[in-house]
Homo-oligomer: A and B are copies of this chain.
Amino acid sequence: MGRVVVEVMPKPEILDPQGKAVAGALPRLGFGGFTGVRQGKRFELEVDGEVTPEVLEEAARAAEVLLSNPVIEDVVRVAPVEADAATTTLAGGSA
């Protein structure tokens, strides 16, 4: 069983009320170091077999057709979850 991650962010010029609200809340909770926040979506798509280049291709098309709206969003990432897992462990250490 493999997994593909697809990530979508609001276009930089588009108002992001949720990101703005988070940005406003952070300093109040003592997190003073962040100057801006944007909030997007992360999808995990599961496939039965391995994540082949064809699977990635299909995920990238699904990302363009359904998972994002090009008027307001950009697809910023389509990748196997493995690549991700490594990063998680890396950063997880600091959590």
A9 contacts across to B, CB distance below 8 A = 42, 44
A88: interface (CB < 8 Å)? yes
A59 contacts across to B, CB distance below 8 A = 34
Contact among B42, B44, B75, B79 for A90, CB-based, below 8 A: B79
Q: Which residues of A contact B (CB under 8 A)?
A: 1, 7-9, 19, 22, 25-26, 29, 31, 33-48, 53, 55-67, 75-79, 83-84, 87-88, 90-92, 94-95
Contact among B37, B57, B91 for A45, CB-based, below 8 A: B37
- Check B56–A94 contact: CB distance below 8 A: yes
A38 contacts across to B, CB distance below 8 A = 43-44
